[in-house]
Chain A
């Protein structure tokens, strides 16, 4: 799924930190970084095109977090090798120590149901049902992707995380369905 404007699709901050961290040990080419990311993301790397990593590296260079130098190659055109600067190194340490957690979705959906019921605009049960189907479909594709990964791969771990969160979401949606059904009966 090629996306010409990566900044709109990916949470760029994360990609920036990851690229910085990957450079912490030793200087690398852009394509090496991309290969690492692809391995970690497995099927999720489908949206990660080559340009995305270079765009990110350019931005980081502009921000003074990495430096680059050209290295001559015998049989190919010269390539850039990126290296971490001291501020970049500080940034990596900060990121690793950061404990903020991606926010789950319930509050917004919950308020949507309450509002829909109050306004009488839409049946909360129907909303829950529709949402359930969407989440279920997501779960199905995540689960299939997970099963497609060889056991023990890093990407499988990521996919398991996706599956478990969606599973939790479904459990909660079931609870919503029960609640709103019993509401209607009274």
Chain B
């Protein structure tokens, strides 16, 4: 549904986005991550047809955003970075205006506006002038505008920015629900959000795409991922260390805690698949009891830091 091919954008001498390619199909929610100034918003502005491309190509459905912008824009809903709207209008008037521009009229328009007001919980403020709304409400008004015409493609630039925890939660549920049928791109700085709503992750750093895969694949890049931690009852640390060395491809055994009753151990291995069951089999054969055994999944923030800072370090060397 969304196809970006070697998309490049330069502002004078600075290259803000450098040959970024990816694809988002209906039913996918792509999480767009990257440090400040990485080029996320710039990429989204090109996808939505606000900024012209310096090079490359973007297809929305069958339409090229540069060659057939009107048809491409019809398919999209867009929540820009700071959720702009016309401050001198009432919520209702603003949504009616957007619906009209989207080509809706008559009862269809009324219905679309009502549905958006309901979905975004704007009923209470529908006649209020946007200028007098709180930041979170202004954000919701702009989001309402983006989903008004039920577009098959949604581009959301930091959709949960400025929302309270309840609204954040609701927004995530909403995006996940809509993501079942639509192609969605969401940029965010909140990594839990990625795990909660995204089916895919793209990380962009200094304008370049440095990761593109599933959240699970991203987690797997964590050095922590695949390690097994276990609390063994009975034997002392020396005994445990000696025994665990027998596991296949062990690279490191860390004694985390040594208590009178049990010892907490962290096992790293270059062979991550089936490590937990190998550990269990070994403990069983020794007739050692344990009260906790689990495989670490790794942490997204750690992976994020590794991927983005690694790349910056290379940049400095050049």
Q: Say whether A associates with B.
A: no
